[in-house]
Every structure is written in C-alpha cells, then in structure tokens.
Chains A and B, each alone.
Chain A
Amino acid sequence: MFSWPSRAVQLLGRHLVVLLSVVVGSSLALGALVWHAPGSPRGQHEGFVVWMLAFWKGLLSGDLGASYRGISVAELVFKGAAISLPIVLAALALSLSLAFGFALVVHGQSQIGSRFGRAVLHVTSLVPAFLLAYFAIIVLAVPPDGFLPSLFAVFILAVADGTLGDLSLRIEAELSILRRKDFVLSAELRGLSMPRRLARHLVIPLAEAGASRIGFLLGGAVIVEKVLGLPGLGWIGYQAAVEGDFVLLLAITVLVTALVGGSRLLVVGLRLVIDPRARRMLRGSA
C-alpha cells in the first residue's frame, strides 16, 4: 500500500522518465548528425558513444566542453539564457494576462466588444514576429543597445505569431465550457458571486495553454533576437548554426527541449496541487 504523496512522486517520476528519454533521444539524434558533419568532435573522442556519454556527464556537471572558438560552451549558454529566459518568461506572463483580458472581453455580454475583441485577436494572430521586429527597427528606430530591444522583444513575442490569439481563444473556449457546466449554472441561479469560483477552475487550463506556447516563444526568440540584435540563446544558437559550431548548437537544442518538457512536467505537478480529482485518482488507483 502506498499513501498518496508517494503515488504523486511515482506519477511525477513517470513523467520525469519520459522527459529524460526525450532529452536523451534528442541529443542522440542530433549528436549522430553532428558526429558525421564536418568539424565533428571525432578527433577528440574514441567513438560516438564515448563522446555522447561524456556529453551527458558534462550536462550533469555543468561542463559542456569548448565551442568552435574555444570558449566554454556552458559559459556561452549561461550568458544567452540570462538574456533569453527572462524575455521568454516575461512574454509568456504578458501574453497570458493580455489573453485573459481579451478572453473576458470576447466572452462578455457586449456584442460589439466581443466582435471587436475577436477581430483584434484574428488580426494579431496574422502578424509574424519577425515583421513586428522589423518595423520596430525601421519605423520606430529602436536603438540597438539599452533596455529597449529587450522590452520590444517581450512585447513582440507576447503578441505575434498567433501566441496572443491562440491563448485568448483557448481561455475563452475554456471559460464558455465552464459557464455551461451544471455546477456553475446552479451557483449563478442561487446568486453566488462567480469570479473567484471560476478563477480556481481556470488556473490549470491557463497553465496548460502557457506550457504549450513555451516552445513557440523559444523558437520565436531565435528570429526576434536576431532581428533586434539581442545576444540571447536564440541569437547564439542561430550564429552557431551558421558558423557550423555544432557542439554549441547541440547544447542549446538539448537545453531548449528540456525546457519545453520541463514546463509540461510543471503543469502535471500543478494539477496535483490544485485539483482534488487528480489527487483522488492517485489514491484510488491502488
């Protein structure tokens, strides 16, 4: 017999195993290509397997070897992540809060507001991030240094490439499903105040939507950072690809897949904390 916390650990452990397999699988697949590409680390290692093992060992200890130019990969990645991750997370937060506002407008009583909100969302989902960044450069003349480029990057990532539209419409759909549920109807009929009650049910869908967009934001960062000249992860990765610095590219890619997988794991954990049904499922499946 297990008590439920240990079952929760089991469940999270299962997800963790999947995450690790994804990371290992990704690094193996890309590593095999890198091994056969020009400028491969073949000279420095006995064989592919030995190299991969060294790579994973390094991944755990934080030493990822040296890049093409001889600079420590870990240092480069760390520097890039220090710029990119705050941008991506801020963009996600901004997008989620804007999306929540839009969802309320679209869902709201006012027909005109709803139509207008929907139209705005459809239009924003058409605009590519690189185009927005481009306009920021040539029309608004965003200077290449200072905090402005980061600020613009956050705004552009939050809005463009359909992120805002996707998040808003998902939240709106969730909201309207929720509003049709019997227990909500029953509470409305009794005259209970709704916002707090609904918010609790929206946390997990919100987190799920956010996690699903992390990948898009990290991908979008490649373009936006490049256009705005921000030396973040995306910029470093793109540069590494162009210059054939594949050891660096491998490290960045593995980090990105781990981030995407990790955000999914977070949602699973969050569900366990918030939703009594998820806890009950763990207890019940004895």
Chain B
Amino acid sequence: MSDLLLSASELTLRAPIPASAGRLVPLLRDVALELKRGELCGLLGRSGSGKTLLARTLLGIGKVQGARLEGSIHYHSSANSAPLSLLSAAAPSPPAGWAGYIFQDPVAALDPMRTVADQIAESIALRSPGLSRRELLDRAEHWLQRVRLADPQRCGRLYPFELSGGMAQRVCAAVALAAEPELLVADEPTSGLDWSLRRGLVELLGEQCQQLGSTLLLISHDEQVVEHLTERVLTIEGGVLVSDQDGCLPRYSRPLEKRPEGDVPEHRLRLLRARGLRRSFVASKVNEAPVEAVAGVDLDLYEGELVGLVGESGSGKTTLGKVLLNILVPDEGELCFDGYELPGLAELQLRRLRGSMQYSYQQPGAALNPAMSIAQHLQETAQLHCGVTAAEAPTAALRALADFEMESKGDSFSGELSGGEQRRASLARVLMPQPRLLVLDEPSAGLDAEVKLRLLNRLRQGQGSESCVVVISHELELVSRFANRVLVMYAGRVVEELPPSSLDPAAAAGELHPYTDQLLAASFRSIRTIEPERRPKDPGGCSFRHRCHRVAPEVPLWQRCTNEEPVLVQGIGAGHRVACHLFENAVNLESQ
C-alpha cells in the first residue's frame, strides 16, 4: 500500500461568478498537490483566496453551476490497490465514505430534522453494518464522549439547532469521524469559537485523526491555528497555491515614500470632537448580553492630520469610524463636527454636512449600487455635493474617473469590475465632494502590494491642509508609514495614542502598551491575525488583563488591573498617551 492518498495535478477551475454575467472566471489555477496517508496538513489562505473551493473541488462536492474543470485528481483508496483516476471532463468524486468534511458552519452541516445521536449512528452504521439500533446509539454516545462533550446522553437527544457553536463543532467532528474516513477535511473548524476552545478543538481533531490513521486537511485563514497543529502548510492565494511548507505571504516589495516630516501645522483647527462615545449591538444569540463595540472613546481630530486607527479584527475600529461620522448613531456621548452637534442634527442639515465628511467602506464594492453604472454614481454625487447641473454632470464624472485612470470604465457596473477597480471607483466617489473629514476603512484590503502603495501615496498627495484623513487598518507597517498619529484600539477603547515613529518592533519592551507590543510582534513577523476574543461586557477592570503578557495573577498589580479601568494618561515621550496601569506606575516612579 503506497502512502500516497490523493494527488492532483494542473487543476484549473473556471466558473461564471454572479458579477461576471455568465463569463467564465478562473477560480483555481494550475493547482498541483499531493497528500500522504496519515499526514496532518494545513491549507492557509485569506478569505476569498479559494481555499474552501479547492477542498470542495478535490472532494467533488458542491459543484459550481456551469463550471469547467481541467486537470486530474487521483484518489488512492486502501480498499482498492489501484488508484482511482478521474480525469478532467467528468466532475470527479471520491468513492463513498472515503472522505469526510467538517463544514465551516457547524449547525448547517447537520440535518435539522434529526437528533444528534441519530446522525452519528448513521455514520457508524456505514462502517459496521448489522449492528442493532441500541448498539448504534451506545456507540454514538461513546463518540460524543470521544469528542469530549459533557453529558453525552442528553446531548445525543438534542436537535442541531439546540446546540451552541462549540458543541455543534464537536458533533460535526463526531459525525465525520464516526464514518472513519481516510481523508478528513476541516474547513475553518474553529470559526466562532474563542481561543481556548479553538486550541482544544484543533488538538482534538489531530488526535482523533491520528488514532484512526486518517489524513487531516485543516483549512484556515488563521496561521496560528494551522501552525499549532500541522507539520505541513500549503498557502493559497487568488486560486493559486503559492507555497508548500513555508506559510509566509508575500511581503511589501518596495518601501513607502518617506513621510514628509513636520507637515502638521502648529495651530491646528479642531474638526471633530468626540467625548464618551459608546455604541453597542444586539447579540446574535438571544440570551447573550449586547456586544459593546465602542465603549467610551474620547477623540479630537484636527485639520491637516493623517490619523491611523489600528487594532485586531473585532476591536471596534470600523464601528468607531462609522460612529465618528454619525453613520451609526452613538448610544451615548458627544459628537461635534465643525461646530455642529451631529447626533441631534436635523436630517436635512446632516445631509448637507455629509458632503464634507465621507466614509470609504472596507469591501471595495460595498458602497456601490450593483444595478447602477459607475458614471451614474459619480454624476449623482456631482449634482448632490458639487453644485453641478444635470447637463454638466457627465463631464464632472468623467473628470473624476480620469483622476483614477478609470475613463473607460464609466459605463461598467460594479460587478463587472475587479476588486482594485471597485476600490478606485468607490474612492473617486467619496473624494469627489472634497470632504474635510475622510475615513478610509482598510483602504488597501484586497489590493496587491504595488497598487496599495500607489493608492496611498496618491491619497496623501490629494489631501489638502484643511482636511483630515483617518485610515483604519490592521496593517501596522502600512499605517506607521502613512500616518502622523496612530491610535490603537482594543475592546472598543482607545488604549494608546502614539507617534508613528514609536511603532517600531525594535522598541524596548515596556515602552508601549502590552497590547500594542503583541500587535507589533505579530504584525512584523508575519501577517497574522491575533485571536479576537469573545468579549462579554466587562464588569470593570482592564479588559486586556487576561491576555496581558506583563501582568499575571501572581503580580501585585493584578488586583488593580482587575478592579480599576485604566484611562489614557501621558506616556513616555511627546504625543504618547496610554491607558495601562503599568504606565501610571512608571510615570509615578519617574516623578518620585
């Protein structure tokens, strides 16, 4: 028996996507890979990189309508000695029971009309036919125990929609494992779980697969999850396997142009003043407390500033950006833009004011009406904010398009454009009214390094001295080169404010907020996203204390971190403010 399990070569999948109006777009290109028996392998890629599609194509499930598949896939089953080869023309599918798949959404992957034990019993019956129903249910219970579910008996009687996310993941694992597949694919099995559960689940999968002698292909966007478990990491980007073993994504090839020093005027006009902003969202599950995405932020923005807002995903950056422009109305707090109190402003006045405060959305096409052409969007804006008549609007729109080298794309709809073009079209739209306050949410997301740099340099050149740009990003390197001032957000609060020069990975430990330290370490080593934590509303104390690497429960300071919420105080050096008890002590010590 060879130890080869699956081999694919020159796998190319073309399919029409909703936006392409029936045209075939290559979604996977020239993918070649081999999986060995009993291997633990990771498949790493960002969202939209084609990792799920690749896995599904390999297993021949969830066929895309009108898709064309080229290349070949060979399955090696332990039952048949010869490899089953399936070539391009027909859609391949492995022998029944050869593979198992753990889906991203665990609840959807279970039959909603049958109990948990029933579904596991079905899997068991496939491998050991002829067992009585009683025996099957006993074994199902045993499986529930194996995936470490508390109270397996009660759990077995539940329906899938009665399970919590973590429980459903374990049940899915049990259902897949009980069929004893030779290959188990786990697609983001940890999404929606908090860190302690993630680690547990991933370890569980690895352990069980090794017991069964199955191969595990673990799909994730999270490098930590993959590296934690697997010996081998495949990286996919844009439908192409870019690396095997080495999980690094391509880095910036060229540095940003040097930030002009001292371009911040001394007597600056305050554009926006925010005090005590709060905004919470109703939790997605009925019995949970509302999630507070912005939990008390004080902020001043001045003319001529370039402000970077950083933090891991889920820290409340986007919500803060939207609250600052009153797109999301704050639950509490003062918000004053250019002398106007935004939350109480009459609708008409607010609409007029919107021309001078614009927001660029994270997803490049999100702000564009899919059924309106790009030129129509711009003409609308020209008439609305630039005082242009209907007759002159097309010229104005064309000029705005020309600024972004998009003249030929005016008649296209957003679905017909690439991500980069969509981004440029959206930017053309928000820049057209020449806003005084511009918030850019992840302006570089989905762009490759080259384009990203040119885009940001362009934005900087276009920015006048009367306007303020806020860039929201999780890429510290980018922000540190682009901004005059950097704000770090954690758990809905601004925990640190610092000049970009301090965002130096070589900075001595203790000069920065421990969270920023962690962010820097993660960011400059690799593009890794740190675990966003599930954040129940904290009854008090520093919300970061559980993750802090500098304070532990044994340290005397812990008491204070638990009881008292830190506020922003002067840190080390000019322009540095930090919300951390460690620093209060440091400053106090210095003054003594």
- A190 with B62: in contact, given A183-B111, A276-B112, A276-B159 (CB under 8 Å)? no
In Å, the complex CA distance between A183 and B175 comes to 11
Chain A residues, CB < 8 A from B176: 186, 190
Chain A residues, CB < 8 A from B59: 189
In contact, A182 and B122 (Cβ under 8 angstroms): no
Contact of B100 among A182, A190, A200, A201 (CB under 8 A): A190
In Å, the complex CA distance between A276 and B94 comes to 33
Quick check: is A191 within 8 A (CB to CB) of the other chain?
Answer: yes
In Å, the complex CA distance between A191 and B94 comes to 10
Contact of B126 among A190, A201, A275, A280 (CB under 8 A): A190
Chain B residues, CB < 8 A from A280: 159, 161-162
In Å, the complex CA distance between A49 and B103 comes to 62
Q: Which residues of chain B (80-120) have a CB below 8 Å from chain A?
A: 94-97, 99-101, 103, 105, 108-113
Chain A residues, CB < 8 A from B109: 182-183, 186
Quick check: is B286 within 8 A (CB to CB) of the other chain?
Answer: yes
Chain A proximity mask over B59-76: 1 for CB below 8 Å, otherwise 0: 101100000000000000
Contact of A189 among B101, B113, B162, B286 (CB under 8 A): B101
In contact, B113 and A201 (Cβ under 8 angstroms): yes
In contact, B113 and A276 (Cβ under 8 angstroms): yes
Chain A residues, CB < 8 A from B99: 189
In contact, A186 and B103 (Cβ under 8 angstroms): yes
Chain A interface main SS type: helix
Chain B residues, CB < 8 A from A200: 113
Quick check: is A93 within 8 A (CB to CB) of the other chain?
Answer: no
Chain B proximity mask over A190-219: 1 for CB below 8 Å, otherwise 0: 111000010011000000000000000000
In Å, the complex CA distance between A181 and B109 comes to 7
In Å, the complex CA distance between A187 and B113 comes to 14
Quick check: is A188 within 8 A (CB to CB) of the other chain?
Answer: yes
Q: Which residues of chain A (108-163) have a CB below 8 Å from chain B?
A: none
Quick check: is B179 within 8 A (CB to CB) of the other chain?
Answer: yes
Chain B residues, CB < 8 A from A183: 108-112
Contact of A190 among B105, B123, B162 (CB under 8 A): B123
- A190 with B179: in contact, given A200-B113, A201-B113 (CB under 8 Å)? yes
How many A-B contacts at CB < 8 Å in the complex?
Answer: 69
Quick check: is A180 within 8 A (CB to CB) of the other chain?
Answer: yes
Quick check: is A82 within 8 A (CB to CB) of the other chain?
Answer: no
In contact, A182 and B97 (Cβ under 8 angstroms): no
Quick check: is A45 within 8 A (CB to CB) of the other chain?
Answer: no
CB of B131, distance to nearest CB on chain A (Å):
15
- Nearest residue (CB) in A for B97 is A191
Quick check: is A43 within 8 A (CB to CB) of the other chain?
Answer: no
Size band of the interface chain B makes with A: 20 to 34
Quick check: is A185 within 8 A (CB to CB) of the other chain?
Answer: yes
- Nearest residue (CB) in A for B185 is A189
Interface centre among A183, A192, A280 (most CB of B within 10 A): A183
Chain B residues, CB < 8 A from A190: 96-97, 100, 122-123, 126, 175-176, 179, 181
CB of B92, distance to nearest CB on chain A (Å):
13
In Å, the complex CA distance between A192 and B96 comes to 8
Q: Which residues of chain B (39-57) have a CB below 8 Å from chain A?
A: none
Chain B residues, CB < 8 A from A201: 113
CB of A201, distance to nearest CB on chain B (Å):
7
State how many residues of chain A have any CB contact under 8 Å with chain B: 21
Quick check: is A284 within 8 A (CB to CB) of the other chain?
Answer: yes
- Nearest residue (CB) in A for B181 is A190
In Å, the complex CA distance between A187 and B97 comes to 9
Chain A residues, CB < 8 A from B122: 187, 190, 192
Chain B residues, CB < 8 A from A36: none
CB of B276, distance to nearest CB on chain A (Å):
36
- A192 with B175: in contact, given A275-B113, A277-B159 (CB under 8 Å)? no
Q: Which residues of chain A (223-272) have a CB below 8 Å from chain B?
A: none
In Å, the complex CA distance between A277 and B162 comes to 9
- A185 with B101: in contact, given A190-B123, A192-B122 (CB under 8 Å)? yes
In contact, B105 and A182 (Cβ under 8 angstroms): yes
- Nearest residue (CB) in B for A197 is B111
Chain B residues, CB < 8 A from A180: 62
Contact of B103 among A182, A192, A276 (CB under 8 A): A182
- A189 with B126: in contact, given A275-B113, A277-B159 (CB under 8 Å)? no
In Å, the complex CA distance between A159 and B533 comes to 58
Chain A residues, CB < 8 A from B94: 189
Interface centre among B62, B94, B99, B100 (most CB of A within 10 A): B62
In Å, the complex CA distance between A186 and B112 comes to 13
Chain A residues, CB < 8 A from B111: 183, 187, 197
Chain A residues, CB < 8 A from B179: 190-191
Q: Which residues of chain A (58-109) have a CB below 8 Å from chain B?
A: none
Q: Which residues of chain B (136-168) have a CB below 8 Å from chain A?
A: 159, 161-162
CB of A242, distance to nearest CB on chain B (Å):
48
In Å, the complex CA distance between A189 and B123 comes to 11
- A181 with B100: in contact, given A192-B126, A275-B113, A280-B162 (CB under 8 Å)? no
Contact of A277 among B62, B105, B161, B181 (CB under 8 A): B161
In Å, the complex CA distance between A186 and B106 comes to 11
In Å, the complex CA distance between A138 and B120 comes to 61
Could you list 25 examples of A-B contacts with CB < 8 Å? A180-B62, A181-B108, A182-B103, A182-B105, A182-B108, A185-B62, A186-B101, A186-B103, A186-B109, A186-B175, A189-B59, A189-B99, A189-B101, A190-B96, A190-B97, A190-B176, A191-B95, A191-B179, A192-B126, A201-B113, A276-B159, A277-B159, A277-B161, A280-B159, A280-B162
Binding site for A on B (CB under 8 A): 59, 61-62, 94-97, 99-101, 103, 105, 108-113, 122-123, 126, 159, 161-162, 172, 175-176, 179, 181, 286
Known: A183-B109, A188-B61, A188-B96. 17 other contacts (CB 8 A): A181-B108, A182-B103, A182-B105, A182-B109, A186-B109, A186-B172, A186-B176, A189-B97, A190-B97, A190-B122, A191-B179, A200-B113, A275-B112, A275-B113, A276-B161, A280-B159, A280-B162
